[in-house]
Structure 1
Amino acid sequence: MLVLWGLLLFLPILGLYLWFYHGWGCFFREDAIQPTQPLVTDKRARDKVLRQGFSQDKVPASLDALVIGSGVGGLSVAALLAKAGKKVLVLEQHEQAGGSCHTFQQHGYEFDVGIHYVGQMHENGMMRIIMDQLTDGQLQWNRLADDYDFVMVGPRQYLISAGKRGFPERLKKQFPGEEEAIDKFVAMMKKVARHVALLGALKILPQWLSLFLLRTRILHMFSPIFWFSESSHQDVLNKLTSNKDLQTVFSYVFYGVPPNDSSFMINSLLLHHYKRGAWYPRGGSSEIPFHMINVIERAGGKVLVKAPVTRILLSNGRATGVAVKKSGQEICVSAPIIISDAGIFNTYERLLPPEIKQKPEVASILSRLQYGMGCFLVFVGLRGTSDELGLKSINYWMFQGADLNSLMDQCSLSTLDEFCENLPLMFITSPSAKDPTYNLRHPGRSCMTLLTMAPYHWFSEWKEHQPRHRGDDYYNMKMKLAQKMLERALKENPQLEDKVEYMEAATPLSNEYYLRAPKGSMYSAEQNCSRYQSDIIVKMRTQTAVPGLYLTGQDVFSSGLAGAVHGGLLCACAVLNRILYLDLIIMKKRLKRQRMKKRD
């Protein structure tokens, strides 16, 4: 028996040794990173990639997998499967691929809709390695200034700085007497970042085994991550400090959930994500899908738009394809593997028969989840370059006061008129100031994006109407809030007062229509404490109650670009029956050794 156990331990170690030193069997490879090609700015050339309309004759023969939705979660898993030699079809209901990474142009201006800045893109960082592999190294990043976020709490102002030392040291200078609380918070943030991989591992292990390890509390003895994930952010902060402004700074990246109902793990991961700095994709956020699609197509796959999937086809209880609505008819497309990037609610409530949702294992998950809150976006076109207008790459997070729980309650409980009067919280960013190619692509122009939270019910009476056909009352309502937000932004940037040439606003209905986000939710399932209970974390995995059907994207792991990418990675692990994270760790080690050799 001892010999058997020794053999079982030896074989994985031998495999890792061969992987590490010889690259044997490693899924990711250095030679996938190709020399960077010039930025493609020609609209027709970009449209050939991002706007390939669906028709039956464009569907590749002998598909290996089909992905519903072209958000980052869908494109990530498709690109990973393509790297494994799989032929993948991605179907997108919108007229442009990319989900929240797509951009749109109006009156000579270009606006992003979801990617405002990204962290952990430093050299040899894990997220950078992943994104390089998914785009063959073609996606380039522009690092923002060290002071990347500006937090305004009433009349008081605080800067957030990048750097392992810079982040806490800047906070200590701004909060004298709170050094101990800041050190403790940073230490806890590091622990979360180190231990969160265990939650990913539990999504890869067989579900019965993961649940057994949780119920017996074996893992709780080795890791604090379960306490971090299940603890209210507000409860943890109350034990660290009574300084309300500092609590606000520890919670400032708002996503629709008040601190008293949000997971400490998620809030600390958000801050840790940017601790090494913030980056923005050169060429705009649509560069992300643009280069992922090229990887998918080189393996024989396709990404087709204007392809709304109406239902997932089942045969003997197994997913075998999808039905696509085209010219009033349904076109059926078959594939042995179906992957949904449409979100957990859309997948179970819209695309599958009702009896699937009623299965105990599905009902138990859905009963614990809520729709996330929607957001309200204002897109502002400005005459003049960012340099001429004095626009900076820094983001402004503005709070009327230091009680974030009360401010979030105002978002959900106020009428729109009351909200306009108070404007409890708002975010201001300038994509044109973050992207050095913006002025080359749009000479003499720049832009700002303004964001706040907004409940769906403010605009729900117009949900059955198409965009541009919702009438004057809807337009006047949204533009009233947009004007209030613009006035607030101009108060911080008075030099822009006479430079505004264009303004448009997007409500939760816009998210629902263009992104198929249920109730206009910004991050799909609500990112509250209920979602991050350990048993729900294990059950919200890529495998579904339907054989042959998988989930990818934000609902598999967590929100945002990084969360969606990890959702794609976890999905690829399940489909390929391979732990790709081991390959990434090995790749990271090899790159580190190569860099050290170059220095020597």
Structure 2
Amino acid sequence: MIQTYKRNPQIHEHYHSIFIGSGMGSLSAAAILAKEGHRVLVLEQHYTAGGFTHVFKRKGFEWDVGIHYIGDMQREKSAMKKLFDYVTDSNLKWADMGEVYDKIIIGDRSYNLVKGLKNFKQQLIDYFPEEKGAIEKYIDLIFAANRTAGKFYMNKALPPFIGKLLYNWMSNPFFKYSDQTTDEVLRGLTQNEELIKVLCGQYGDYGLPPKQSSFFMHSTVVKHYFGGGSFPIGGSSQIVKTIDPVIEKAGGSIIINADVDKVLIENNKAIGVLMKDGKTIKASNIVSGAGIITTYQQLLPEEIGKKYRLNEQLQKVTPSVSHACLYIGLEGEPEELSLPKTNFWIYPEGENHDEIVHRYLNDIEQEFPVIYVSFPAAKDPDWTNRYPGKSTIDIITLLPYDIFTSWGDSKWMKRGEDYESFKEKISQRLLKKLYEQLPQVKGKISHYELGTPLSTKHFMNYSKGEIYGIDHSPKRFRQKFLTPRTPIKNFYLTGQDIVTAGVGGALFAGLLTASAMTGKNFMKKIIKS
């Protein structure tokens, strides 16, 4: 029987590629290379593999840390579905969330985002009949922006000389949309504040409110869910479980509790990694999926950073938002508790998204600017087979990293009474919001715990506890260095920083990284086959 990942596997003297971090970008690239016959090694510092796709278990419950829903998985010919099928040998299965994937709740009003483009459009028009023209133009712009993305991202995988020659031709149509903020585009279509607030109701999926986010980032998330939402059957841990055999088939491994200290570089060439325990492992290529900030600040020798002025690159990007997630365990099965599959996005009355965020960041005692509620136990048809008589709920909100600096040097699970007291205060505020929407769950909760930005920093090694790598502002998409290649020979980047936020972005980042490393057009081979 193939183990999902090993604590003490055989370590070979040399690998084709070593991946630092086992997030979706690393897993995707590693699986693609393994299917080319390459022996790869994926090193994960955490006690479980998968990055933001991993699960954790406590008190007889299981929670998915980063995957709450994925779009485009019910359409067999979608690029996302084909790529997931390729890297998992079609062993990863998906459950449809049904007609309504997201519910936008503003005060006492709610708006359903429904599956199917025609249904989505008609539902919005039914809510805002006087805005029919603006809604139709909006959807046209969503598709127009997405059509420009292919060439822009393909350019990142081209050999540098060719990529530079074709950069303007492949990128300028994309910049037409990415250079504008979401707010700028929407206010060019309508002045209806409620409609704008609803259209931006998924901004938590990429972390920036309308006046700060790139319209391209907004458009790619919105289009991603036109076909509805899906959830991995068996939970998000099935992702690494189905990719691991693909890697092992070519002689590779995924190793947990494997903390990389530094990338080994000789004569401007990456040759291996130095582990925290002092061991060295050699490879022809080294790939970091740890995020560009962590990679350049922590994993590269200081002299290399100075030589290539990598810190100057980091000055041009900003860490994305940090968050809190309340993991809730309940007695009773999803049907018994009437838990929906639909996600809730809960917003306060009054100002627009940006004003509400600004007010909250100045005083976190103000109303939460966004609350996202997910019901993973209801979404997963296999849940009750694994956890009969139980259910789970996740509640996520914005929580700035800066307010945790006084506990920054403390250790996980040993941060003191003040920290626990602060967490309990946030938890109770979130539970109150949950009970307003689902009063029937009150009294059914047997366990809850709050993950903070310090938890994200500890487990994901993100310096500011950021959830989406670097911010998805217009400025971000103009940075030419956000590519798989680095100035160091045989040293590459992957993950959401070189494409976009989320599991889907990181999945395609892996494809781009594998293409840049091999010179092969995997996009054509996998997606267009």
Q: TM-score range by the shorter chain?
A: over 0.9
Distance in 2 of aligned mates of 1:320 and 1:464: 33
Kept in 1, the 8 Å contact 2:14–2:281? The answer is: no
- Indicate which of 72, 76, 82 corresponds to 1:129: 82
Aligned to 1:598: none
Misfit runs of 4+, over 6 Å: none
Q: Is the 8 A contact 2:331 2:446 kept in 1?
A: yes
In the other structure, the counterpart of 1:494 is 439
Q: Is the 8 A contact 1:348 1:356 kept in 2?
A: no
Structure 1 pair 362–573 and aligned structure 2 pair: CA distance change class (3 A): same
Match of 2:226 in 1: 275
Specify the alignment match of 1:248 in structure 2: 197
**Equivalent in the alignment of 1:380:** 328
Partner secondary structure for residue 290 of structure 1: helix
The aligned residue for residue 46 of structure 2 is 94
Q: How far apart are residue 226 of structure 1 and its match?
A: 1.4
Q: TM-score, normalised by structure 2?
A: 0.96
Q: Which residue of 1 aligns with 2:355?
A: 406
1:120 to 72, 79, 98: 72
In 2 relative to 1, CA 104–549 (structure 1 residues): closer, same or farther, beyond 3 Å? Answer: same
Deviation at 1:208, TM superposition (A): 4.5
Match of 1:540 among 478, 482, 506: 482
Q: Of residues 183, 186, 189 in structure 2, which corresponds to 1:234?
A: 183
Match among 454, 458, 479 for residue 399 of structure 2? 454
> 1:260/1:359 Cα in 2 relative to 1: closer, same or farther (>3 Å)?
farther
Change (3 A) 1:307 1:219: closer
SS in 2 for 1:390: coil
C-alpha displacement at 1:409, in angstroms? 1.6
Q: 1:68 corresponds to which residue?
A: 20
2:125 aligned counterpart, secondary structure: helix
Tell me if structure 1 keeps the 8 A contact 2:494–2:510.
yes
Residue correspondence of structure 1 range 462-481 to structure 2 within 5 A: 462-481=407-426
Contact 1:382 1:446 (8 Å CA) reproduced: yes
Query: Hey, what does 2:316 align to over in structure 1?
Result: 368
Q: Is the 8 A contact 1:235 1:260 kept in 2?
A: yes
The alpha-carbon deviation at position 134 of structure 1 amounts to 0.5
Give the aligned partner of residue 23 of structure 1: none
How far apart are 1:308 and its partner, in Å?
Answer: 0.7
Q: Does 1:310 align with 2:261?
A: yes
Please list the CA deviations of residues 30-87 of structure 1 after superposition, one character each: whole Å capped at 9, or x if unmatched. xxxxxxxxxxxxxxx89x414x22x5x6213431111000011111111011000000
- The answer as to whether partners of 1:319 and 1:546 remain within 8 angstroms in 2 is yes
d(CA) in 2 for partners of 1:470, 1:167: 46
Following the alignment from structure 1 to structure 2, what is the Cα–Cα distance between the partners of residues 246 and 295?
46
Structure 2, gaps ≥5 residues long: none
Mapped partners of 2:412, 2:297: distance in 1: 24
Query: What percentage of aligned pairs have identical amino acids?
Result: 34
Superposed displacement of residue 201, structure 1: 1.7
**TM-superposition CA deviations, 1:348-391 (whole Å, max 9, x none):** 11011223333456344322101111110000101100000000
Instruction: Tell me the number of residue pairs that the alignment of Structure 1 and Structure 2 aligns.
Output: 525
Aligned equivalents of 2:374 and 2:170: distance in 1?
41
Offset, 1:88: 0.4
Separation of aligned partners in 1, 2:53 and 2:13? 28
Q: Tell me the equivalent position of 1:107.
A: 59
1:206 Cα deviation (Å)? 3.3
1:566 to 495, 500, 508: 508
Q: Distance in 2 between the 1:66 and 1:219 partners?
A: 31
Contact 2:151 2:170 in 1 (8 A): no
Q: Which residue of 2 aligns with 1:430?
A: 375
**Following TM superposition, by how much is the alpha carbon of 1:423 offset from its aligned partner in structure 2, in angstroms?**
2.1
| 1:77 has 2:29 as partner | yes
Aligned positions of 1:165-184 closer than 5 A: 165-184=118-137
Residue 481 of structure 2 is aligned to residue 528 of structure 1: no
Helix, strand or coil for the counterpart of 1:49?
A: coil
**Partner in structure 1 of residue 492 of structure 2:** 550
Letter in 2 for 1:202: N
Quick check: 2:371–2:396 contact (8 Å CA) kept in 1? Answer: yes
CA contact (8 A) 2:158 2:516 kept: no
| Partners of 2:246 and 2:407 in 1: CA distance | 39
Does the CA-based 8 Å contact 1:64-1:335 persist in structure 2?
yes
1:488-546 Cα offsets, whole Å, 9 max, x none, are 1011000111101100000000000011122100011112221022xx1x321000111
**Structure of higher CA gyration radius:** 1
| Aligned residue among 153, 160, 169 for 2:113 | 160
TM-score (norm 1): 0.85
Distance 1:218 1:90 in 2: 36
Gaps of 5+ in 1: 1-44, 588-600
- Cα gap change, 1:281/1:500 in structure 2, threshold over 3 Å: closer, same or farther? same
Paired with 2:375 and 2:253, the residues of 1 have a C-alpha distance of 33
The letter for the 1-side match of 2:51 is G
Cα distance change, pair 155–489 in 1 and its aligned pair in 2 (3 A): same
Counterparts in 2 of 1:365 and 1:276: CA distance versus 1, 3 Å: same
What amino acid does structure 1 have at the position aligned with 2:407? Answer: W
1:382 partner SS:
strand
Task: Judge conservation of contact 2:152–2:170 (CA < 8 Å) in 1.
Answer: no
Q: Does residue 144 of structure 2 align to residue 199 of structure 1? A: no
Matched-pair contact (CA < 8 Å) for 2:13–2:281? no
The question of 1:342 aligning with 2:294 is answered: no
Q: What code does the residue aligned with 2:142 have?
A: M
Shift of 1:462: 1.1
3-state SS in 1 of match to 2:130 = coil
| Aligned-partner residue type, residue 258 of structure 1 | P
C-alpha deviation, 1:585, in angstroms = 4.0
Aligned to 2:138: 185
**Residue identity in the other structure for 1:531:** R
Contact 2:86 2:526 in 1 (8 A): no
Q: Give the letter for the 2:259 counterpart.
A: P
Q: CA deviation at 1:295?
A: 0.7
CA distance in 1: counterparts of 2:226 and 2:341, whole angstroms: 16
The structural deviation recorded for 1:169 is: 0.8
In 2, Cα distance between equivalents of 1:271 and 1:359: 41
Structure 1 residue matching 2:140: 3-state secondary structure = helix
Question: 2-side partners of 1:572 and 1:449: how far apart?
Answer: 34
